């Protein structure tokens, strides 16, 4: 069964997959601002998808969507604070601590529900 919520989740899951690739590239490139910007752009897509479509998810996934939104909001705020403070060049190191880590379990529950719906 494909409806609006599964269409949105398909886009979100593709975005999450791209974030993983972007993060690996960021690490491999020495955690530079150039690659951090690419990761931020993709994470922004994920945040936008979640904030504009969360209402389409069933009640039992609302907390998981909220955990992802919180992570993206905190991550983005810290990213923007560091950018403003450093005003980095593309190849400058760009690292900040973040205790609100990516909620893998929440993302996995969203993915599992999506797979159940499309089968």
Indicate the pLDDT class of residue 3, thresholds 50, 70 and 90: confident
Predicted pLDDT of residue 1: 45
Find the domain containing 70 and state its range.
4-118
**Which residues, 6+ apart, have CB-to-CB distance to 86 below 8 Å?**
33, 92, 94
pTM over 0.85: yes
pLDDT for the residue 66 = 98
pLDDT of residue 2: 58
> Are residues 72 and 43 in contact, defined by beta-carbon separation less than 8 angstroms?
yes
Looking at the 3D structure of the chain, how many domains does it have?
Answer: 1
Q: Rounded to 10 degrees, what is the CA torsion of 10, 12, 13, 18?
A: 130
Residue 87 scores a pLDDT above 80:
yes
């Amino acid at each position: 069964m494909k409806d609006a919520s599964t269409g949105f989740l398909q886009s979100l899951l593709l975005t999450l997959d791209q974030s993983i690739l972007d993060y690996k590239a960021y690490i491999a490139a020495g955690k530079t601002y150039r690659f951090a910007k690419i990761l931020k752009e993709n994470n922004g897509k994920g945040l936008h998808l979640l904030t504009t479509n969360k209402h389409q998810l069933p009640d039992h996934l609302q907390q998981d969507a909220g955990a992802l939104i919180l992570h993206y909001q905190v991550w983005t705020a810290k990213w923007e604070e560091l950018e403003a403070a450093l005003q980095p060049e593309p190849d400058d190191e760009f690292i900040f601590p973040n205790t609100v880590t990516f909620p893998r379990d929440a993302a996995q529950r969203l993915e599992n529900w999506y797979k159940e719906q499309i089968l």
